[in-house]
Amino acid sequence: MTGMFDGKRILITGGTGSLGQALTRRLMTGVEGLPESVTVFSRDEAKQHYMRLDFMHRDAVTDEVIFENSRQRLRFKIGDVRDYEGLARAVKGSDIVFCAAALKQVPSCEYFPWEATRTNIEGAANLVRAISELDLPVETVVGISTDKACKPVNVMGMTKAIQERVFIDGNIHCAATRFICARYGNVLASRGSVVPLFLDQIAAGGPVTITTTDMTRFLLTLDDAVDTIYAAVRSGRAGDTYIPRCRSAKMTDLAAQLIGARHIETIVTGIRPGEKIHEILVSEEEATRTVDGSDGYFAVRPMLPELAGPVEQPALIGDYSSASNLMSSTELADFLKRKLPDAVAANQLA
């Protein structure tokens, strides 16, 4: 049976990031069809160098893709989504584009809001512009978003919220291309996320830093994030934003689970610039146009009437915030054992 990526030429902007690498690794397995090529587009040559070594010279690819095939399929291009001409050259010849390029560190975006705007908004606009003006036959574009884009209070979330709208509007200007988004919460093992920080602090003997004792976050793994993206590609309609069903946890509970029986101090440092206490994945306004998508995901239909279509049966979401979907201590312990088996095996978790 033919998979949805069989023979496709795939471009991943920001492909050297945590999500980009996880997505590349999954694509290279050929589980949903083996692409003709996977091109990693980013501005960091050092990360590209080490990623190339990882995938091509350290047996990082799976048995289904031998070394010679990986060398032919996996490609790297230096460039920046802010540069229209460079991005247009990279997109040319692509069937599917995953837009993972982003400035995503919340405090950094607060101090450099224009830089966040250029990457997160202008980069998306450049992609839509290239497909439209050059009449490129791109089949699907997936914008990788975040829960911070829902009712945003920080620059990172604001720019990502507008990025979602830029991609949704792209469906109007590029009728032959399907633009969709995938929105999800805190990824457990991604660079800059809370779990690696806590584990590093624990390994150093503490203290473990909590910004506020009330803080909650949705939790999922990189594989869960890739699953969401795959579901969007498989079943999303033009303008859809796909959202996983996931649980949340208090950061104090997460820290306690990671510390276990160790005598390690926890200190409260105060909220960082732009930080929210609770996140939300579907707003009250969006809930009226949210439906049950494929494989247990939610799909937020676009507000543009040219794309929306009728929403006969909205999903019964209720309050989809991290404050109201909390795991108990037992549930969180089970979750971490399932989602972080390597950490458990290494006795990093009590």
Q: Which residues are catalytic?
A: 148
Structure tokens at 161: 């919220």
How far does Cα 247 stand from its chain's mean position? 16
Measured CA to CA, the distance from residue 241 to residue 320 in angstroms comes to 15
- Read off φ and ψ for residue 43, nearest 5 degrees: -100, 0
Work out the number of other CB atoms within 10 angstroms of the CB of residue 152.
19
Q: Residue 39 in contact with residue 94, Cβ under 8 Å?
A: yes
Structure tokens at 83: 């540069």
Measured CA to CA, the distance from residue 283 to residue 103 in angstroms comes to 23
List b or e across 67-96, with b for residues whose CB sees 16 or more CB atoms inside 10 angstroms. Answer: eeebeebbebbebbbeebebbbebbeebbb
Measured CA to CA, the distance from residue 143 to residue 313 in angstroms comes to 25
Q: Residue 141 in contact with residue 261, Cβ under 8 Å?
A: no
Q: Which residues contact 205 (CB under 8 A, 6 or more apart)?
A: 264
Which DSSP category does 149 fall into? Answer: G
Structure tokens at 206: 């503490």
DSSP string, 28-74: HHTTT---SEEEEEES-HHHHHHHHHHHHHSS-S-TTS-HHHHHHHE
